[in-house]
Each structure stands twice: as C-alpha cells, then as structure tokens.
Amino acid sequence: MKVQITPWHVMVGAYLVGFGMLTGLAIDHMLFDRQRSAVLRQYDHALKQWHSQHMLIEKAAQHSTERPEP
C-alpha cells in the first residue's frame, strides 16, 4: 500500500511542527521567568539587608559624633 503525500498532509505536518515549537518556546519562557524571579527575589533580599546594615552604621556614626547640649 503506497501512501501519497499531498499538499494537505504537508500543511498539517508543518502546522503541527510549528505549533509544537511555539508551545515549547512559551513553556521555556515561563520556566525561565520563574527561575529569574527566584534569583531576583534573593538579590532584593540581600540588597535590603545590605542597605539596612549600612543605615545602622551611619546612624551609629552620627550618634557618636553628636555633642550633647549642656
């Protein structure tokens, strides 16, 4: 039994391949965004800790240089 490949078969095959590639690309982007969000969340937390630590150092330095009023 010989199967004839018609233009209709080629179009359906191309559509399925294209749809599969676009679906894979969309899923890849969603996974990348989730990983990126986790990394950025950790970075933001570390940055806030760093800023708060420096604020404490600046406040301590400011209080040590202030003279009490007589």
Put simply, whether the predicted model's pTM sits higher than 0.75 gets the answer no
Q: What is the DSSP string of 6-51?
A: -HHHHHHHHHHHHHHHHHHHHHHHHHHHHHHHHHHHHHHHHHHHHH
Q: What are the structural domain ranges in the chain? A: 37-62
Q: Is 60 exceeded by the pLDDT of residue 52?
A: yes
Residue 28 CA to residue 54 CA, distance in Å, equals 39
CA 47 from chain center: how many Å? 17
Residue 30 CA to residue 40 CA, distance in Å, equals 15
Residue 48 CA to residue 57 CA, distance in Å, equals 14
pLDDT 10s digits, 21-47 = 999 999 999 999 989 999 999 999 999
